[in-house]
Amino acid sequence: MRLLFEHGIRINETEGLLAGNGKQACYVQIRRQQDVRLRSLKRLIRAATDCKRG
């Protein structure tokens, strides 16, 4: 599964969750339940919503 962030290129993310090298979108690849890093994903989603507002 890929969790897509349409304007992911704008997100200031330092934990290395985002993948992709497009001009706009980035994603988090989730292959197994063990791949889910809940705290990191929460921070990423907060950063994405802050980015969207600004």
Record the pTM: 0.81
- pLDDT value of position 5: 94
In the chain, the percentage of residues whose pLDDT exceeds 90 is 67
Please name the residue that has the structure tokens 């969207």.
52
- pLDDT value of position 52: 63
Instruction: Give every CB contact of residue 1 below 8 A, 6+ residues apart in sequence.
Output: 29, 30, 31
What integer is the mean pLDDT of 34-44?
A: 91
pLDDT range class, residue 41, cuts 50, 70, 90 = very high
DSSP code at position 36 = -
CB 27 within 8 A of CB 13: no
Between CA 20 and CA 26 the distance in angstroms is 5
Q: Residue ranges of the alpha helices (H) in 1-54? A: 38-53
